[in-house]
Amino acid sequence: MPLPARFPAPAVVAALLGIVAALMPTAARADEAPAFEVIDDLGAGVEVRDYAPMLLASIVVDSADFGQASSLGFPPLADYISGDNNRRERIGMTSPVTQGGGPGRWVVGFVMPARYTAESLPRPRDPRIRITSVPRRSVAAIRFRGRFNTFRYAESLRVLEIQLGRSDWIADGEPQAAQYDAPWVPGPLRRNEVLLPVRRRE
């Protein structure tokens, strides 16, 4: 049955969303993200990626709530990359913002731009912020759109774990939420992922 005339066709909606994304301010879309190669497709939207080494700036937040932890962890990290460091240098925003852990101890992280090394990266002035060198690793990932919430995260993690159980891979770490967009980006344009370090079964 054709859609009523007052509703735009799906192709028109998709085109409009594409235009909005193209016009989105640069501040809303961090252009740099960690380099990776997809090395396996587990089905149901789950893939295994080989990530290059990266640097992560992170902060531990004591909160019972995921959203509150994100709100508390983001500002000091944003201050750090905006110049609150030993060189007063603007580091630049990348994506995604990661969050792992659980109630009482959440870890919120910013991936650092690839141009930096552990030696050249400015040191944070805030003693709560840690800089960690993350080695090359394999990570299972599943993507979902829309506003991030704990229900979508839990459902995506469930699908990821089901597909992982049917594969040659097993978990090798704790899951993380990854959010790629600024808060003001419209829901349909938002990219979120669940990431889980993995290794091949022996």
Which residue reads 């597909």 in tokens?
163
Amino acid letter, 7: F
Q: What are 162-180's pLDDT values in tens digits?
A: 999 999 999 999 999 999 9
Residue 25 in this model has a pLDDT that exceeds 80:
no
Alpha carbon separation from 115 to 32, 34, 120, 187 (Å, rounded): 11, 11, 9, 31
Point out the least confidently predicted range of 28-37, 129-138, 163-172: 28-37
| Nearest CA-CA partner of 184 in 149, 153, 147 | 147
Calculate the CA dihedral of residues 96, 98, 28, 44 and round it to 10 degrees: 60
In whole angstroms, give the CA distance from residue 133 to residue 35: 15
Burial class (CB in 10 A: 0-12, 13-18, 19+), 141: buried
- Minimum mean pLDDT among 11-20, 64-73, 109-118: which range? 11-20
Weakest-pLDDT range from 9-18, 66-75, 101-110, 121-130: 9-18
Find all residues with CB under 8 Å of 194, minimum gap 6, and list them.
Answer: 141, 142, 144, 153, 156, 157, 160, 175, 176, 177, 178
Q: What domains, with CATH codes, occur in the chain?
A: 23-50+136-200 (no CATH), 54-134 (3.20.80.10)
pLDDT at 30: 53
In the structure encoding, which two tokens stand for residue 195, read together?
């990431």
Spatial CA neighbour of 140 closest among 67, 1, 45: 45
